[in-house]
Amino acid sequence: MIRSLDHLVLTVRDVDKTVDFYCRGLGMRKEVFGNGRVAIHFGDQKFNLHGADGVPLLPRARNPVAGGADFCLVAGVPLDEVIRRLGNAGIAIERGPVDQAGARGPMRSVYMREPDDNLVEICAYPPGL
């Protein structure tokens, strides 16, 4: 029934810092839509950003909180290139590279924290997976 993820919402303390982390550090792109709402795009998906202190957008999660997310992003380049780009952007790797079991099978991952302390895992699958 479900085919893919369209978007998810991140509650953030500082939209500009979050945009900088994901765009400069991870190569995503910023979009402003609606009445000044901000999203960051990658592939065919996006993260909508909701400010923690702003007027709540409805509907929303019952208990939105900055720093409460833990997710994995699949890299479109080898993990060595991800590690190099993170280093060039001054983003510290908290753990990894390590072997993990992903949705498609075995993968290698690195973990880092973004400005709201969400745990971001970036993985790379072996060719063919």
Q: Name residue 40's beta-bridge partners.
A: 30, 47
Return mean pLDDT, the chain: 93
Cα(26)–Cα(7) distance, integer angstroms? 17
> Does residue 89 fall inside a structural domain?
yes
Residue 48 lies inside a defined structural domain of this protein: yes
* Candidate list 31, 81, 94, 121, residue with the active-site label: 121
CB 47 within 8 A of CB 22: yes
**Residue 129 lies inside a defined structural domain of this protein:** no
The whole domain housing 107 covers 7-124
121 in active site:
yes
Does residue 69 fall inside a structural domain?
Answer: yes
- For residue 2, being part of any structural domain is answered with no
Domain of residue 22, CATH code: 3.10.180.10
Residue 55 confidence (pLDDT): 66
Any domain includes 72: yes
Number of domains observed in the structure of the chain:
1
pLDDT in tens, 47-85: 999 988 876 777 888 888 999 999 999 999 999 999 999
* pTM greater than 0.75: yes
